[in-house]
Amino acid sequence: MKILYHHRTKAKEGQFVHIEEMLRAFRDRGHEVVVVGPHEGDHDKFGSKSLSVTLLRRFMPRPLSELAEFCYSILAFFKLRKAYLAHRPDVIYERYSLFLLAGCLFARRYGVPFLLEINAPLYAERSADGGLALKAFARWTERVAWKSADLALPVTQVLAGDVREAGVPAERIHVIHNGINEQRFSGEDDGTVRRRELGLDGRLILGFVGFAKAWHGLDQVVDVLARDGEKHNLHLLVVGDGDVLSALRQKAEAMGVGRRVSITGVVPRESVAAYVATFDIALQPRVTSYASPLKVFEYLAFGKPIIAPDQPNIREILAHENQALLFDPQDCDAFGRAILRLCEDPALRERLGENARRTIAERGFTWAGNVVRIERLISRHRGTRASLAQKTSAPHLDIAAPSTRPSAD
């Protein structure tokens, strides 16, 4: 199958990981994939942000910057057209971005099945975080994109609910959770070598992967270190970066536990697994209500007992006292209590870890598994289209059969 993969992502962060892994998985399954997206950032280091997008949003008036985002669709449309004429793909697979309508407009123009991967309700997210000037317009573009998809692929059931509320028929919505690269996160590394390199032999390591933000609540881990660090020989290992980490280190120093905190900064993507392997307890302190956190699947792959908030999108992946301890995110002390409970109960850690390791295989939480699911959805969609075409055809009349593609209105 020929796939035209379209995205507008420039920053090399978590979203880039998803793009990279899906492209690899499609190609490993033997599909020909043609990528259409921004050229900037192709050689940037992991963790870098797009300079042009940063400058655009910082110095251009917000209404104009949002219109510029929308106008990018014109350029993207012609890029898609050029790729289509050169390769004649069977489907277009797009990673959803706010104000981006090139994929759905192109699919309607050329009659190509349109698959839309939805990782976040970006209208709501940007309205809450940084604000939107053109709110009605932004919401309209989001609904047009979602409702135009032949197959809408949100990453959680929670997000699927948002897509349904936007007017997308339930039969076109199919949840595809995130996953892992089985080769990179095989779970075979026991972390011994990296522990020794870090000087953490004998420590009980509380681990976190990602770009730490204030709302993650990692400062609560420092409180645990100050209270129980000596008793359980605890150490916090943060694999990643984030604006709050300097304040986190300062708090640890002020509380006398600076030696019990290590922050790696951004590490190459291929090195992340070696760090996860060192964790004794894996932390997902907070998460947005609709997300499918990449780190959770990586923790599962290495059989790490997990501490995570008890909320619907997390319960789609983890079960309390099965692979994880789920805590009440409204209880400010619950996170710390969950950490302490696992610190004091090695048998519970082992049981949760064993269950976590099995979860990946049992539920197929891999990028390769996601591609297989998508193949089946495309095959089913083709069958539906063929059936509808037969029912609506009128061979006795010299007119074209009506289109079976959904409207973008």
Domain boundaries, given as residue ranges, for the chain? 2-179+366-392, 192-363
pLDDT at 186: 79
> Which residues make Cβ contacts (< 8 Å) with residue 182, sequence separation at least 6?
301, 360, 366, 368
Residues 6+ apart with CB under 8 A from 81: 106, 110
- Average of per-residue pLDDT across 162-174: 97
- Residue environment code for 134-143, b if the CB has 16+ CB neighbours within 10 A, otherwise e: beeebbebbb
Superfamily covering domain 192-363: Glycogen Phosphorylase B; (3.40.50.2000)
Residue 75 has pLDDT above 80, yes or no: yes
Question: In the chain, what percentage of residues exceed pLDDT 70?
Answer: 88
Q: Contact, 281 vs 342, CB < 8 A? A: yes
Q: Check if 2-179+366-392 and 192-363 are the same fold.
A: yes
394 pLDDT higher than 70: no
Look at 98-102, 186-190, 237-241, 258-262 and tell me which has the smallest mean pLDDT.
Answer: 186-190
Per-residue pLDDT at 187 exceeds 90: no
Question: Is 0.85 surpassed by the pTM of this model?
Answer: yes
Beta strand 261-263 with 281-283 is: unpaired
Q: Indicate whether 84 pLDDT > 50.
A: yes
Classified as helix, coil or strand, 335 is helix
Residue 389's alpha-carbon distances to 58, 152, 346, 403, in angstroms, are 49, 21, 61, 8
What mean pLDDT do residues 323-332 have?
96
Q: pLDDT tens digit string along 26-56?
A: 999 999 999 999 864 454 554 445 555 566 6
The pLDDT of residue 188 is above 90: no
In the predicted structure, residue 271 carries a pLDDT above the cut 70: yes
CA angle 315, 181, 241 (to 5 degrees): 75
| pLDDT for res 359 | 97
209 closest CA partner among 326, 294, 334, 301: 294
Higher pLDDT, 320 or 383: 320
Q: How would residue 408 be classed by pLDDT, with cut points 50, 70 and 90?
A: very low
The answer as to CATH 3.40.50.300 being correct for domain 2-179+366-392 is: no
- Amino acid 397: pLDDT: 32
Average pLDDT, the chain: 90
Please compute the mean of the pLDDT values over residues 3-29 and round it to a whole number: 91
Cα–Cα distances in Å, from 192 out to 268, 278, 281? 19, 7, 15
In which element (H, E) is residue 127 found? helix 122-129
Instruction: Give the whole-angstrom CA distance, residue 18 versus residue 46.
Output: 13
Q: How far is CA 4 from CA 31, 115, 215, 303, 368, in A?
A: 10, 10, 37, 36, 18
Q: What is the pLDDT of residues 334-383, one digit of tens each?
A: 999 999 999 999 999 999 999 999 999 999 999 999 999 999 999 999 87
**With 50 as the cut, is the pLDDT of residue 407 above it?**
no
